[in-house]
Structure 1
Amino acid sequence: MKALPYGLSDFPRIRCEDYYYVDKTRFIEMLERQPPYLFLIRPRRFGKSLFLAMLEAYYSIDYAGRFEELFGELYIGQHPTKRHNSYMVLRFNFSEVSSKLEFVERSFCEYCCMVMKNFILKYEHLLGSGIWEVVNPDETNPEQMLAALKEYVSRTDCPRIYLLIDEYDNFTNTILSSYGQERYQEKTHGEGFIRGFFNNIKASTSNAGAAVERLFITGVSPITMDDVTSGFNIGTNISMLPQFNDIIGFSEDEVRKMITYYKDENALPEDVTVDRLVELMKPWYDNYCFSEDSLEERMFNSDMTLYFLNSYLQLKKVPKMMVDNNIRTDYNKLRHLVQIDKTFGVNASVIQRIIAEGSITAQISTSFPAEKMTDTENFKSLLFYFGMLSIQGTDFGSAILGIPNLTVREQLYTYLVEAYREAKMFDLDLSSFSRLVKGMALRGEWETVFRFFARELERQSAIREFIDGEAHIKGFLLAYLGLTQGYILFPEHESSKGYADFYMMPDLLHQPEIAYSYIVEVKYAKRDASEVEIVALKKEAAEQLVRYAADEKVLRTKGGTKLELITLVFKGWELVIAEKL
């Protein structure tokens, strides 16, 4: 039985050691029909490194004798292109560069020079011994080394270079998030070492007989590329082209095929179906879309999918933690880039609105510098590139962006709660709140949860000045409820009957003892609202809750729990009605 390649991005090893491989080689043909210099943005842990390793094995002359072994059974092995195994492949992975400010330039220089020296040693039989007369083996300046290498290759008849750069923005993003804009600007602007290196890459692609014939760069955002090249003018950004929506990550068909393989190998419990596992995984790992013209094609995060299946194959049950700790670590690195200003301004409101309402419209920016990343539209775009938002539809020329899945929703709850705390606006005792939610789940003690929350709203004056409407109240409430155990929250739960503010679906897979589930309707009135207005809101909420309770999804997922329908009416920050139907 094939092993799952969880945590592996070594393509030759995956193929030779008989790991399960989702065949993405058909994209080679499609890439060759594109311009030669390409740029792809995708979220972290989505399979970018494995894809580049596959390209290296396909195009490198060094792997010519292993073509059948590596590709024979794959699509491209049956449909090879003329360019296979015809290049010298120079591959960088900038995650290898230290992001500590005092070491970053030295680390970058040492790493790049090491990679280029190894490249020359690997292909010396093609380059000829004269290469060392042009390239100084003791060179410590990668800009000069690359310039010498491209000059030599361009004037000889040796094969051309296919340049691959993985995680091009890894260390620069860390500098930006850890040290701020000023230090980041020092490294990426003016005569900074990074800009000089990319200028040489551009020069390597632009003249007659160019040394670099093809180029493929991956990263998680367009920011650094804009900053180091004064706007992306090295090549073509294919990130949002519909034909490349599924270039990495797994489609549902690919996930089903993988599960079916292990089912046929008797690696899954007999009573577990493919449909059941897909149903369990979809809310947590699926629903990524990267093109407005591919709305019907949703992608699974490949790392999260492999994490789940790897755990399931070993334990024969759903993992206790649905979110891989590696994913949490990566999202935590991004948290500092998602800059929520200390005054809790517009961009904090963007996150809060997304949490409360489920979606937001945006004009996705394809390129913007770091100094403008907090502009509202760029900020929304940044959330999209990081995988915090995904395209759900279009609205009059704009993209509708929504939270793709429960894994991301959990991270956004964390971001927002930390933003409240850092801005000294609101700080709830999560351990006390969690104990109350446990009573809500086991004994139906729902009112103590919402009264506790309301008392904190009244007590902490800083947050009261920010409350202006139902979305703010819901945003606060959802962010904190989302960090407790027992329930999976579905804000603005869409049902055949309308919209509920949020459905607290019991997490019966992990907490089978839960006895109660809830649909909550939150209504908000201004502080000067009349009693008549309050009564009208209460009546409206009751009518909506009765309709929502009959929804098929609610009836299917509540299991044996008792469904409670709760109305909360806030008058300003004061909870004036908390009633159960």
Structure 2
Amino acid sequence: MDNLLRKLPIGIQTFEKLRRGDYLYVDKTDFVWKIASTSTPYFLSRPRRFGKSLLLSTFEAYFEGKRELFEGLAIAGMEKEWKRYPVLHLDLNAEKYDSTRALTEILSRQLTQWELKYGKGVDEETLAGRFSGVIRRASEQAGCGVVVLVDEYDKPLLQALGDNALLDDYRKTLKAFYGVLKSSDRYLRFVFLTGVTKFAQVSVFSDLNHLQDISLWPDYAALCGITLDELLRNFRPELEILAASNDLSYDETVGRMKRLYDGYHFFQNSLGVFNPFSVLNALKAKVFDNFWFQTGTPTFLVELLKRSDYDLRTLIDGIEAPASSFMEYRVDANNPIPLIYQSGYLTIKDYDREFGNYLLEFPNDEVRYGFINFLIPYYTSMANDDQGFYIGKFVQELRSGDYDSFLTRLQAFFADFPYELSDKTERHYQVVFYLVFKLMGQFTDAEVRSARGRADAVVKTPKYIYVFEFKLNGTADQALRQIDDKGYLIPYQSDGRELVKIGVEFSAEERNIGRWLVG
């Protein structure tokens, strides 16, 4: 087919529409058949825009026996019966949950649609009672078990974060509603729930103890997302056009796609997967951009970070943690890491079998720099539309050897902090230094350290290597001496570029850079 006519399924979340509309489809139906061949109730956690809705729609088409939609796909050679089941598909993704009444009305509206088809009992008044009645009647009328698919089960809970009273109301409502999936087990053929976050306090994970959470199972690590092999096999014509549009070779284009959009791991040492939303948009727009990050602002995550007083430097450099500390979110635990991981801003990069600890890091450059850019306004006075200007100027000044202008700009940056930030702790200013240097890493080789025994920051440009030492409780002279005494320049002496050592002191009284010395 002419590449100009190949249709990329951006925003297509319905399997039937995708197949009948002749959109490109990365075949995941072997997973669908394997999962559907059991009667086990499942739960899958994946970040937003990772294909969860399309996955559930695929299950819906399969259980409705729509064999014609699966022609040419892997499942066509696996399934023999194509039996039809009643399917109850609840999609909580596209609604606004801003009151207890809103959630009740949305659930009630969906129940009414099912009751129009399967009938309603005269004594069924509660949401849970109506749900239970629909499941029972659907099973009795069809003479087989019912399939229940719940898309984004946790959307109401995520929207209520920060409002404890509303969150508690939602938890009580959903506890009773989802609890039906256990009491109605004899009427069910298959249950699959998706979401972003595993809330520990909701009964779907406490009372419904036979629900299998496959979020970290190796067999399903590539269930959502696009593997490198799938990218190269399904999208080569689009990749070639993307390469030509950006004056890159094919291999350079694949490399940039990997740096920007690959790197998600949902099991230790598993295949990495690309973010499908970013991949499709990059191929469609023929440019590289932060497509996924721009679709949702993680404001609630930043608020969680601020309330927990979490050291951002630890987050940015990577976190070692057991699975128990990031797979379930507890509102009262003051631990933001589970939400940050499950929302897709961190992923599994390594695993220590001896101690059972996972290394969580940013999956790729889109998330790394998108997240840091998003954090800057919350820790400084910098507005979002100023970020490119500031960071670009910082980099340009160091490339040209104009370190005085660089430090003067940094000084002005701190001077412009709003009043409410004036009483911040020393660590707050250390974090801001850290963020600035990390952002520079998009454009040049910049390293910033928080460990002892190393320079605070090293920036490498084509002509210069800068070694910075910042003293928050000392002088610029002491900072410069420390660079010499600790031998911070030694690793770079054979490099050939000009070495510039800079000692900087921070004035506690002025809450700003006081002076600097260059050696």
**Do they superpose with TM above 0.5?**
yes
Structure 2 counterpart of 1:450, from 389, 393, 407: 407
Indicate conservation of the 8 Å contact 2:329/2:338, yes or no: no
Say whether 1:402 aligns with 2:353. no
CA drift at 1:530: 9.8
Tell me what 1:307 maps to.
Answer: 281
1:186 aligned to 2:147? no
Name structure 2 gaps, 5 residues minimum.
508-512
Aligned counterparts, 1:106-125, within 5 A: 106-117=104-115, 120=117
Per-residue CA deviation, residues 12-59 of structure 1 (Å, 9 max, x unaligned), is: 122122111101111124324666100000001111111111111112
The CA distance in 1 between the partners of 2:230 and 2:52, in whole Å, is: 17
Q: Deviations over 1:116-144 (max 9, x none)?
A: 246x3xxxxxxxxxx53x546x9875423
Matched-pair contact (CA < 8 Å) for 1:87–1:159: yes
TM-score (norm 2): 0.82
Match of 1:328 in 2: 294
State the Cα distance separating 1:169 from its structure 2 match. Answer: 1.0
Kindly provide the CA deviation profile for residues 347-371 of structure 1, in whole angstroms up to 9, marking residues without a partner as x.
2x1x33223xx21211233654542
1:336-415 pair list within 5 angstroms: 336-340=300-304, 345-347=308-310, 349=311, 351-355=312-316, 358-365=317-324, 368=328, 370-375=330-335, 379-395=336-352, 396-415=355-374
- Is 1:467 matched up with 2:426? yes
Matches within 5 A, 1:194-205: 194-205=174-185
Does the C-alpha gap of structure 1 residues 517 and 216 become closer, same or farther in structure 2, counting only changes over 3 Å?
Answer: farther
For each residue in 1:153-206, what CA deviation from the matched residue of structure 2 results, as whole angstroms up to 9, or x when unmatched? 4556612111111111112211224xx2222112213xxx3222112122122x
Q: Percent identity?
A: 21
Match of 1:146 among 112, 115, 131: 131
Q: Does structure 1 residue 170 correspond to structure 2 residue 178?
A: no
Q: Is the 8 A contact 2:238 2:283 kept in 1?
A: no
1:336 and 1:37 map into 2 onto residues whose CA distance is 30
The structure-2 alpha-carbon separation of the partners of 1:166 and 1:28, relative to structure 1 and needing over 3 Å to count, comes to same
Alpha-carbon displacement from aligned partner over 1:539-561 (angstroms, at most 9, x marks no partner): 733233446x68xxxxxxxxxxx
The 1:519–1:94 alpha-carbon spacing in structure 2 relative to 1, beyond 3 Å, is farther
* Cross-structure match for 1:427: 381
> Which residue does 1:315 correspond to in 2?
none
Alignment partners' CA distance in 2, 1:517 and 1:301:
36
Structure 1 479/77 Cα, relative in aligned 2: closer, same or farther at 3 Å? same
Q: 1:276 to 1:154 in 2, by over 3 A?
A: same
Which residue number in structure 2 is paired with residue 511 of structure 1? none
Aligned-partner Cα distance in 2 for 1:280–1:418: 28
With over 3 angstroms needed to count, the CA separation of the structure-2 counterparts of 1:231 and 1:459, relative to structure 1, is farther
8 Å contact kept, 1:249–1:300 = yes
Please report how far the alpha carbon of residue 578 of structure 1 lies from its aligned counterpart in structure 2 after TM superposition: 5.8
What is the rounded CA distance, in whole Å, between the counterparts of 2:445 and 2:429 in structure 1?
Answer: 15
**TM-score between the two structures when normalised by the length of structure 1:** 0.74
Question: Aligned partners of 2:13 and 2:280: how far apart in 1?
Answer: 12
State the distance in 1 between where 2:416 and 2:96 align: 45
Cα 1:12/1:566, change in 2 over 3 Å: farther
Q: Distance in 1 between matches of 2:133 and 2:394?
A: 65
The answer as to whether partners of 2:179 and 2:207 remain within 8 angstroms in 1 is no
Q: Which among 262, 280, 289 is matched to residue 286 of structure 1?
A: 262
Counterpart position of 2:212? 236
Label 1:499 to 1:273 Cα distance change in 2 as closer, same or farther (>3 A).
farther
Shift of 1:103: 4.4
- Is 1:479 matched up with 2:459? no
**2:473 aligned with 1:527, yes or no?**
yes
Q: For residue 555 of structure 1, what is the aligned residue in structure 2?
A: none
How far did residue 534 of structure 1 move?
Answer: 3.6
Describe the shift of the 1:483–1:235 C-alpha distance in structure 2 as closer, same or farther (beyond 3 A).
same
Q: Which runs of 5+ in 1 are unaligned?
A: 121-130, 313-317, 421-425, 506-515, 551-562
In structure 2, do the counterparts of structure 1 residues 140 and 80 end up closer, same or farther at CA, with 3 Å as the change threshold?
same
Match of 2:198 among 188, 208, 222: 222
Distance of 2:436 and 2:493 partners within structure 1:
26
1:510 matched residue in structure 2: none
Query: Contact between 1:226 and 1:369, CA under 8 Å: does it hold in 2?
Result: no
Alpha-carbon displacement from aligned partner over 1:382-429 (angstroms, at most 9, x marks no partner) = 211111111111243211111111221233224432432xxxxx4357
| SS of residue in 2 equivalent to 1:487 | coil
